[in-house]
Amino acid sequence: MSVIRQNLQAVRQRINDAAYSAQRDVRGVELLAVSKTFGADAVLAAAEAGQRAFGENYLQEALDKMDAIRAIRPDLTLEWHFIGPIQSNKTRPIAEHFDWVHAVDREKIAHRLSEQRPANLPPLNICLQVNISGEASKSGVLPANALRTAQAIAKLPQLRLRGLMAIPEPEGDEAQQHLPFHQLRVLYEQLRAEGLPLDTLSMGMSADMPAAIAEGATIVRIGSAIFGTRNYAK
């Protein structure tokens, strides 16, 4: 059994355990395998173990990886999520090649993605990134501005606003990990009460996944626990 297959099994078991503890149906929690800095071979190994959704931060690396995978396995259908910061000059290839975008935090970026999404593709799934911890170094709309921004994005053609995403400030204490995730869940419910048909909370990584699942995460983003230590020198 490959190391990646073993790691995936262990991560899925952690998700199962966290969902059970939270009295949630595990089918409501999707695993997004964050494959940034790892090659096509790693993605294919995870795909052979049943993983289909992959998250990428770096655009050119992701496009090269997609091409390599298509050349090796043209029959394989994968779901690609762009989860990194988005520069205005990179929106076209993101709109053309990805199924989801998790880090939209400006109406300008949303407008560009909508305009540049090919008409023959389904609407691009969007998560609005919220700076839930109020960190100056973090991207994301402030919670007070989330409703207005979400309403504007929801009106755009070729986009489908699915929900909210956040990367809270790291916190070693599990009890403290719950707070920002709870705040994001409350904001999510407030937006739904305003008529926005949201169904996605993208939150939680390896270190805080149980807390995120307990607070309602529907997508957890896990990388090194699946693929190993990252090599940022590539």
Residues in the chain where the model's pLDDT stays below 70: 1, 231-234
3-227 is classed in which CATH architecture?
Alpha-Beta Barrel (3.20)
Question: What is the dihedral sign for C-alpha 42, 48, 54, 60?
Answer: positive
pTM of the complete model? 0.95
32-58 burial string, b = 16+ CB within 10 Å, else e?
A: bbbbbbbbbebbbbbbebebebbbbbe
pLDDT value, residue 152: 98
